[in-house]
Amino acid sequence: MKVVVVGGGKVGQLLTQLLVEEDHDVVAIDNREDILELIQTNYDVAVVHGNGATVEVQTEAGVGESDLLIAATSSDEVNLLCCVVANMLGATHTVARVRNPEYDHQIEFLRQKLGMDIALNPEKATAREVFRMLQYPSFLKRDSFAQGRVELVEIKIPDDSALVGKKLMESKDILRVNALICVVDRDGDVFIPDGHFVLQAGDRIMVAAEGAKLINLMRSLKLTKKPIRDVMVVGGGHISRYLAQLLEKSRVNVTIIEQDRAKCEELSTELPKATIIHGNGTDQELLLSEGIRDMDAVITLTGMDEENMIISMFANSLDVPKTVTKINRTEYINVLTKAGIDTTVSPKLLVANEIMRYVRTIYHDESELYCSLSGKVETLYRLANGKAEALGFTVPVDGNYLGKTLMELKLKPNVLIASIIRNYEVIIPKGSDCLMPGDSIVVVTTSDQAIIKLSDIFASEI
């Protein structure tokens, strides 16, 4: 598929990388030549120098013949104009990043009138993600498959957990829910465990379970923390605003700490129920006096990664049950988990992933029939910092693996079928289950495996 990416900033570069990794033809547009040079030496893409909202530059980049244009410059207006021009030139799909809350209310109107496919708001998406994390505070991460019917959640095994020292095949009695431990991340080493794998305290495990059973899973793992009632948000930017709106709706008490007096006033008119504190969020005394000790969760959303990290570490040291840290430099996430900062959000990663999800849907819409016939990968999620992957397939009608039980079918090492969705019903597979044509299945594997189609997951020709 041919994709044009306008804007070579953080999100633009990340998107370029992800698109190239999935074998799309990418043309990057930016008005800074040094950035283009950097992109060109890092990724196998073509670059065009100039203002991406002009007809000349878009024509040079071949927007008219391309399947998708993604406008991710720092300016909303330029992004919108990019999409308008691209539509006129004949691009099949267009995506714009629109972040100003003032446009947020009219986003549906803009989408329809300007013929855009989607408009993405990184701040809003981040707020939603944080909110999702707060719903189940014991999960470090949640990914949904098959419209939320299957959830893949990440859990850190506490020292006193019943799972410590148990083999996986014994875990069924402890979990008591139909769930499957698919990935284990032990200090950065990622395993796809088999039944004999022994769990340790501190392992981060990814568990596939039916979406509706998540509560039960938490209960049996004794992970139920008391529901979140009081939240402190440090930093009063767009994300905080969206987040506070969501939290207010579910009757959570929100305290926002913001340095800028004018911003505080704005916030207080928009969020009448929230407590708005004017002050420096890195000031320990202030945090303590505002009752950080008694908070159920602390969310750090200032513009500085370093400040966010320090505040979160401080909150951790005070045993605040849940901290969420906003990080822009995702390269360092590995180091952060070692420092005890477990739950992080990154607007750039969220937006890039959301766009990639969209790219895959339009890519597969065009080749959907082809996919379900050939059993090629339909969806792809990265797990454990990209060291593992969850892949979605539709089982084709003519595979020689059909009708055999999973026990009879030998899978490649480090490959696992995490779930089967058959007629809107979720099956967490056991050895006695088998694949049927039309099933949607989720396969978990380490990312060094080259799996392109469903038949690649089996050890040998059957």
Partner 1 sequence: MNFRVIAKYMGRILQLEGIFMTPAILVALIYKETGTIIPFIATIMLCELLGYLLAKVKQNDEGIYAKEGYISVALGWIILSLFGCLPFYFSGYIPNFIDALFETVSGFTTTGSSILTDVEALANSMLYWRSFTHWLGGMGVLVFLMAVVPMSNTKGGGEGLQLMRAESPGPTVGKMTPTLKDTARVLYTIYFAMTVILFVALVIAGMPVFDSITTAFGTAGTGGFGIKGNSMDGYSNLIQFIVAIGMMAFGINFSIYYLVIMKKLNEAFSNEELKCYLGIIAVATILIFFNIKHIYDNSGVALLDSFFSVSSIITTTGFATANFDMWPQLSRFILVAIMISGASAGSTGGGVKVSRLMILLKTIKREIQSVIRPRAVKTVMMDGKPINEAVIRNTLSYFAVYWFIAIGSMFLLFALDGFDTETTVTSVMACINNIGPGLNMVGPVGNFSMFSPVSKLLLSLNMLIGRLEIWPMLLLFSPSVYKNTTKR
List the x/- string, 347-386, binding to partner 1 by CB under 8 A: ----------------------------------------
Specify whether the CB–CB gap between 167 and 196 falls below 8 A: yes
Question: Is there binding between residue 189 and partner 1 (CB under 8 A)?
Answer: no
Q: Which residues pair with 415 in a beta bridge?
A: 445
CB of residue 355 to partner 1, shortest distance in Å = 18
* d(C-alpha 200, C-alpha 415), whole Å: 21
CB of residue 455 to partner 1, shortest distance in Å = 22
Specify whether the CB–CB gap between 259 and 290 falls below 8 A: no
Question: Is there binding between residue 70 and partner 1 (CB under 8 A)?
Answer: no
List the x/- string, 13-52, binding to partner 1 by CB under 8 A: ----x--xx---xxx-----x-----xxxxxxxx--x---
CB of residue 325 to partner 1, shortest distance in Å = 27
* d(C-alpha 233, C-alpha 272), whole Å: 15
CB of residue 39 to partner 1, shortest distance in Å = 8
State whether the Cα torsion 75-81-84-90 is positive or negative. negative
CB of residue 41 to partner 1, shortest distance in Å = 5
| Residue 45, H or E segment | none
Counting Cα atoms < 13 Å in the Cβ hemisphere of 414 gives: 14
Question: Is there binding between residue 264 and partner 1 (CB under 8 A)?
Answer: no
**Comparison of 40 and 250: residue with beta carbon closer to partner 1:** 40
* d(C-alpha 121, C-alpha 245), whole Å: 15
Residues 52/53/54/58 CA torsion (nearest 10 deg): 50
**Comparison of 155 and 383: residue with beta carbon closer to partner 1:** 383
Question: Is there binding between residue 250 and partner 1 (CB under 8 A)?
Answer: no
The CA angle 250-325-107, to the nearest 5 degrees, is 55
**Comparison of 50 and 158: residue with beta carbon closer to partner 1:** 50
Question: Is there binding between residue 11 and partner 1 (CB under 8 A)?
Answer: no
Residue 113 neighbours by CB distance under 10 Å: 10
* d(C-alpha 124, C-alpha 136), whole Å: 19
The CA angle 111-113-119, to the nearest 5 degrees, is 15
CB of residue 226 to partner 1, shortest distance in Å = 43
**Comparison of 28 and 234: residue with beta carbon closer to partner 1:** 28
Neighbouring residues of 90: CB distance < 8 A, sequence distance ≥ 6: 63, 64, 65
Number of residues that bind partner 1 (CB under 8 A): 17
Task: Give the residues lining the site for partner 1 (CB under 8 A).
Answer: 2, 17, 20-21, 25-27, 33, 39-46, 49
